[in-house]
Amino acid sequence: MLVIVAPGQGAQSPGFLVPWLEDPTFATRLGWLSTVADIDLAEHGSVSDAETIRATQIAQPLLVATALVASLELFPHPADAFGRIGAVAGHSVGELAAAAGARAITAEQAMVLVRERGQAMARASAVTPTGMTAVLGGDRDEVLAVLERHGLTPANDNGPGQIVAAGTLDQLAALAGDPPVKARLIPLSVAGAFHTEHMAPAVGHVAGLATAVSVHDPRIPIISNADGHVLHEGREVLRRIVAQISSPVRWDLCLDTMADLGVTGILEMPPAGTLTGIAKRALKGVETFALKTPDQLDDARAFVDKHGEGSLINTTPTWRMVVSPAKGTFHLTEEARATLALNAGAEIGGVSSLRDRIPVTAVHGGQVVEWLVEDGDLVSPGQPLVRLHPDGVE
């Protein structure tokens, strides 16, 4: 099982695109996305200094474009990727790259959204002096309690011993004077308190634009930042991308889902290193590959050959599959059990875990071809539950 991941803001460094731009095809493709985003990505990825590319409105388009163009270097024929990648995920803004790579949205739509996202978040950051601090180590429950005491949000939960606190500069100063026991604090060089209520104005702006975006169901399952659920419906993917601007990133739950899926290899798109580093600590025994420079492409393809087994989603189905969003026990509703046809949006049941119950709906509806699980069965993330024949399809 192969999972491809795309990094978030902070992964960029001065000059990281220099070796990639030596390839004329890469440079041309990046130029196209630069035109769409109305920003000179080649300049910022090659000659701009650290302070310049730290700016939200520059860093975010730069990261998304890099991941998308590099994916075409890794998979010159995208259909090859659809048949071999088990799932994709992106940390924070990287989720836009993941959605475009899975073909839920186009690369051009992703670039317009990330341009507007970055600019809107920069404007929101200017309203109140805010920031973020990484809290490394310490007891998880105690760390969360201390953050709550200071009014801070755990904006990124990246796995064991890695939580990022976000809030006003006064709140972060109070945390520095009263840190959790055995925890180390590292102030982050970011423009504001991302993934908190301070970003609410940016959510409204991007949400308005998103209503005009045409989406498709992803050809590869997408693991959501919000809760680690496996997504297979395009409109839900876009809704969550918008909502995560002001909501915490639960990368820890994404890692849990990767483990539940049986991941054996994780490949991180450039500028790589952050997410594979986290995976090495959190998912023992899972191989990782950080794609940083183009001279690694042959080795990266060999890594794909070793771990790629095929997507959970058929790329050209004449029927639709409803899959489980998470691990748990599936319970079928009486209404769904008694019918041979499901209306679009009908709830077919729910997946119950120790944390909660997640409703499962037949987003598109259709004729029931076969149930693939029974009431009370244990299910895994992405496991097919029912196969439907879409209404109006011969």
DSSP string, 113-137: HHHHHHHHHHHHHTTS-EEEEEEEE
**Cα–Cα dist 155/173, whole Å:** 17
pLDDT at residue number 394? 40
Contacts 24+ apart (CB under 8 A), 284-287: 286/258, 286/259
Residue 151: left if φ>0, alpha if ψ -120 to 50, beta else—which one?
left
**pLDDT > 70 in the chain, percent:** 96
In sequence order, what are the residues at sequence separation of 6 or more whose Cβ sits closer than 8 angstroms to the Cβ of residue 330?
324, 349, 350, 351, 360, 373, 375, 376, 377, 378, 379, 385
Q: How far is CA 36 from CA 31, 108, 109, in A?
A: 9, 6, 9
CA-based angle 15:20:24, to the nearest 5?
130
pTM of the model: 0.87
Q: 160-175 pLDDT, tens per residue? A: 899 999 999 999 999 9
Active site residue 92: yes
Phi first, then psi, for residue 133 (nearest 5°) are -135, 130
Which listed residue (34, 71, 92, 125) is catalytic?
92
pLDDT exceeds 70 at position 313: no
Contact yes or no for 320/388 (Cβ under 8 A): yes
Average pLDDT over residues 254-280: 96
Which string of b and e fits 234-263 if b means at least 16 CB within 10 Å? bbbbbbbbbebbbbbbbbbbbbbbbbbbeb
**Cα–Cα dist 180/146, whole Å:** 6
Helix 107-125 vs helix 24-37: angle between axes, to the nearest 10 degrees?
A: 50
**Cα–Cα dist 33/394, whole Å:** 39
Active site residue 34: no
Q: 334-372 pLDDT, tens per residue? A: 988 888 889 888 999 999 988 889 999 988 888 898 999
Which listed residue (44, 195, 205, 229) is catalytic?
195
Nearest to 105 by CA among 121, 117, 122, 119: 117
pLDDT-based confidence at residue 315 (cuts at 50, 70, 90): very low
**Cα–Cα dist 135/158, whole Å:** 11
Average pLDDT over residues 303-328: 76
Least confident window among 267-271, 302-306, 313-317, 370-374: 313-317
Nearest to 104 by CA among 115, 116, 91, 88: 88
DSSP 88: E
Q: What does pLDDT average to over the chain?
A: 93
pLDDT at residue number 345? 87
